[in-house]
Chains A and B, each alone.
Chain A
Amino acid sequence: MTVATGARRAASPALERYEAVIGIEVHCQPKTASKLFCRCRADYDGAPPNSLVCPVCLGLPGVLPVLNRRAVEHVLRVGLAIGATIPAVTRWDRKNYFYPDLPKGYQISQYQIPLAADGRLVVETSEGPLTVRIRRAHLEEDTAKLVHADLDGRAVSLVDFNRSGAPLMEIVTEPDIRTAEGARRYAEELQLLLRTIGASDADMERGQLRVEANVSVRPRGSTELGTRIEIKNMNSFRSVERAIAHEIERQVAALEAGEPLRQETRGWDENRGLTYVMRVKESEDDYRYFPEPDLPPLRIDPAWLEAIRTELPELPAARRARYRDVLGLPPADAAVIVGDLEATALFETLLAAGSPPKAAANWVTGEYLRHRKGGSVPAERLAPARLGPELARLIALVEAGRLTLANAKAILAAHLEGGEAVETLAAGYERIDDAAAIERIVDEVLAANPAAVADVRSGKDQAVRFLVGQVMKATRGQANAARAEAAIRSRLGQADGAQGPTGPAAADQGPTDPAAADPGAEPSP
């Protein structure tokens, strides 16, 4: 505690003289229905304790493992997605150690020949693109869960074997990362990749994605590696960044103070904002790896690999590039859409239905995300397969000039609230473009608002906006605002043009709408 606060105070000037070297180890749960080596269900999250357990995952005498094909294919998918080398033949190894969460006293894992090796992932950081080399990705079985408890005054640990034997993919980078932000960005990008290819739901809160970091610091310019410290218990992307930033400061402060660093494992305490010692490594672990005799080797036939490759969807990096370079989306919009699988699915549905990319992107990044984050819309109404066709219809009506943007948004809100079809809702919102109809309404408005008319005549141009607003109000927003304004000016003997920064578009677009910044949002009449 005192070290940490001291470090924080002393660090800032010294930090500049050091460079951090960071490697990330991610464990994620491949998306399978059953466990890795037995047929118990793998959706252990929230299940009653010890309810998803069989002799195999309980490690009873006499049991044997049988490998889940889908779990293997998920790792192959990841390997292909990161451009890794896939071995022609791989096998399984036993990693031996004793711990109450490890029922057999060994973990079936991969040691010598991982399913994927030498891949890479490029991530965007505030300092530009960062290429992170991925040393290996392999498959292993998960351990049971230990819960610490007090049992009638006795400190105990409770073991729940539901997670025991669930598949686990370990993805280890080279120490290529130099900043806490880079580490967070790598973890985020990896999560996106895993979700995009369907290999894992990779939900950190549910333990499907666990991030550990190896952090060392060294004086800038040095090529030697400092004492490596492992950080665990980082339960969100934010805590990954905070924990590593803190750890870099702590290590630098220690070195500046002449204190030696020990090779150790530290835990991140989110509440206190510091890392604490979990385990000091006095000597190297001796896991006594040897080939698992209960499982035959796995030959990865080129045809098998090719079939998996063919089924891979477009990967996030390629998708961002396409949205940016081919569809002409601003990079920020492309990143927002690609970073969100549901948004991507909706966007692709809109494109497939013929919506113009920029308009579609505006609707997705604006209204769609706003409604989704608002949390009041039932999830099924936001499902891309259901919402897509409706939203595409809505965009088409706007594009055809039959709906104002404001009314289109109101229709979307009504559709999401009540579920009524866009077509039906739009019937009451057709835009009034007809000159005679608009002039009739303008006349009524002018007659009812003599004070404003006088203001306009005396040169107070903002009174025009008031009158346009009254026209819109009278038509429940259906009037073509530009034509209404033109009619008002013409009736009051004013020339068109002097509209200033608050032109007619302001009536259509709320000031907080990000789409307002994009001229592509409103079709020109």
Chain B
Amino acid sequence: MSGIRPAPSGADEELTRLGVGELGALLRRGEVTATQVALAHLERAERQNRALNAWLHLDREAALTAAGEADRRLAEARRSGSEALAACHPLLGIPVGLKDLVSVRGGPCTAGSRILAGYRAPYDAHITERLRAVGAVILGKTNMDEFAMGSSTEHSAYGPTANPWALDRVPGGSSGGSAAAVAAYHVPAAIGTDTGGSIRQPASLCGIVGLKPTYGRVSRYGIVAFASSLDQIGPFGRSVADAAVLLHAVAGRDERDSTSAPVSVPDELLALPDDGGAADWLRGRRLALPREYFVPGMEPGVEARVREAVAALEAAGAVIEEVSLPHTEYGLASYYIVAPAEASANLARYDGVRFGPRLGDGRDYVADYKRTRGEGFGAEVKRRIMLGTYALSAGYYDAYYLKAQKVRTLIKADFDRVFAAGFEAIVAPTSPTVAFPLGAKLADPVAMYLSDACTLPVNMAGLPGLSVPCGLSEGLPVGLQLIGPPWSELTLLRLGRAYEAITADAPWRRLEPSDLAALDDPATPTPAERLALARAAAAATA
């Protein structure tokens, strides 16, 4: 690195502070071009990525090509008149980031793993096609825990990502790169995946909005699989409306994913109510507060913010009742059987034969497999493959895998009962803690797994879950989780919009992530350096 790159000031840098709706309005009016918007975001991302490590690949050329195409489409729509302009998708010309497990034809797709180093996907994921179709500008691929296994993005083979609110802390995970990129204004919206909380928890820890849709809402075709019956793809945005627009673009039936549901995607996602309308909508809505979600080990500041949010909803006219989801405490154990079991099969294809580096002396294929996989996968992935293989192995299937699937039935039934009783949604914490320091939980897998205690039951039941920011604890963001019955994304987003509206004037809403300035400082250590320091310090105390 040679000297300080000046932080550009002025109009172009300010574009990065705008959301999807505002940028879209400027683009449609022709006040800015998609190319300008893309460049502003690209330059910020390129400049700050050393200190944030949110991006694994930024593809300037592809982004500018897409932006140029968006400009042509916008110009043509402008010539054709207001109807043509109105028909443009709100994402036309808007920069987005993709978690690096989404296939983009001809581009890298590492899933945060060394075992996919050098791999170039020869095809587009379904959502990549959809994003291209609406004219979104894909800026690049974001960092993640290897194969989406983790809650801190520290399990990336390409170094951890920092949290823009405190660069010595994790952004959450596994979609930590996408969450940090959105929080740091590198893109207004990004795609993540959520198998046990991997969208909602980093959204919570980075102070942004993240939605895990109903299982089957978004096609998984072209998304590197972690646990097939739990994985869902969803949006991040800095506002509920922005997340809704991105969901609208990628959701819907895809014939290449047999678990993609033929359920229509409501256009109302593009027209969430304004502040007044949202608050009106909230009155009389019945919401459930599950007592089991205020788990032991929850930070008092987090519980306080969540309870305040619940009180605010109640004050605005929502009807809140406490309910019980009695099998919540079994969620963690059953999830950590089901997800690793599926993963152990999903990750069997990484054998160095058809793609990825191949290690070994080429004399014995079994030995080569073992070396390729033993050295290609990181510690957390190997841990989960071992767990999953064991849970499925002869003599243990019934005690572990089958048992977990039965418990899954009970967890799902808990939710079904609440929604059958007429509740429109469940309100709960997203994460029991705020962002924790880099390295804090790396030595204790079980402590890390507890980060997802409030989110993974939702995946086990296949339900949609939304995390919206609800204030700060010790200067760090806290997330409020809204859980609904299948296909209730619109309701959850309206509810999230209503919560935004009734807290629009809250002082914390005006705060930006505290460490944004440090991202432009070349003296700022990289996240990998910070993690190494944290580990050294931990080793010294031990």
Contacts and interface: CB of A to CB of B under 8 A. Distances in A.
A64 interface: yes
Interface string B363-393: 0011001000000000000000000010011
B111 A61 contact: yes
Contact of A293 (B101, B109, B228, B392): B228
B259 to A, nearest CB: 6
Contacts of B223: 62
A55 B345 contact: no
A96 interface: yes
Interface in A28-73: 55, 58-67
Contacts of A353: none
Interface stretch (B115-123, B302-310, B531-539): B115-123
B351 A98 contact: yes
Contacts of A60: 103, 121-123, 349, 354-355
Contacts, number: 105
B258 A290 contact: no
Given A59-B349, A64-B220, A103-B354, A286 B394 contact: yes
Nearest to B224: A61
A61 B122 CA distance: 10
How many chain A residues sit at the interface, stated as a range, is: 20 to 34
Contacts of B348: 96, 98, 104-106
A96 B221 contact: no
Contacts of B125: 62
Contacts of B258: 64-67, 294-296
A98 B369 contact: yes
Contacts of A100: 351, 353, 365
B424 interface: no
A286 B393 contact: yes
A138 interface: no
A140 to B, nearest CB: 15
Given A55-B123, A64-B221, A294-B259, A104 B393 contact: no
Nearest to A102: B348
Interface in A270-288: 284, 286, 288
B222 interface: yes
A415 interface: no
B221 A62 contact: yes
B397 interface: yes
B353 A159 contact: yes
Nearest to A100: B353
Interface residues of B, number: 45
A286 B390 CA distance: 11
A143 to B, nearest CB: 13
B354 A58 contact: yes
A59 B350 CA distance: 9
A64 B256 contact: yes
Nearest to A104: B349
A63 B221 contact: yes
B342 interface: yes
A94 interface: yes
Question: Which of A65, A94, A105, A288 is packed against the most chain B CB atoms within 10 Å?
Answer: A288
B397 A55 contact: no
B364 to A, nearest CB: 11
B512 interface: no
Given A66-B258, A96-B348, A61 B116 contact: yes
Contact of B345 (A58, A62, A96, A286): A96
Given A61-B109, A105-B345, A290 B228 contact: no
A65 B221 CA distance: 9
Contacts of B222: 62-63
A296 B228 CA distance: 12
B255 interface: yes
Interface string B92-125: 0000000001010000010100001001011101
Nearest to A53: B354
Interface string A233-271: 000000000000000000000000000000000000000
B341 interface: yes
Contacts of A67: 258
B268 interface: no
A66 B389 contact: no
A61 B103 contact: yes
Contacts of B365: 100
B473 interface: no
Contacts of B389: 288
A96 B258 CA distance: 21
Interface string B323-361: 000000000000000000110110111010111000000
Contact of A62 (B224, B229, B393, B401): B224
Interface string B250-265: 0000011111000000
Nearest to A286: B394
B104 to A, nearest CB: 11
Nearest to B109: A61
B225 interface: yes
A159 B353 CA distance: 9
B392 A290 contact: yes
B220 to A, nearest CB: 6
Interface string A101-132: 00111100000000000000000000000000
A289 B101 CA distance: 26
A253 to B, nearest CB: 34
A61 B101 CA distance: 9
A289 B345 CA distance: 10
Contacts of A64: 220-221, 256-259
Contacts of A290: 341-342, 345, 392, 397, 401
B225 A296 contact: no
Given A63-B221, A106-B345, 15 more contacts: A60-B103, A61-B111, A62-B121, A62-B222, A64-B256, A94-B345, A96-B348, A103-B354, A105-B345, A105-B351, A284-B394, A288-B389, A295-B258, A295-B259, A296-B259
23 contacts: A55-B122, A59-B354, A60-B121, A60-B123, A61-B109, A61-B111, A61-B121, A61-B225, A62-B101, A64-B256, A64-B257, A66-B255, A96-B344, A96-B392, A103-B354, A104-B349, A105-B348, A106-B345, A106-B348, A154-B362, A288-B392, A293-B228, A293-B259
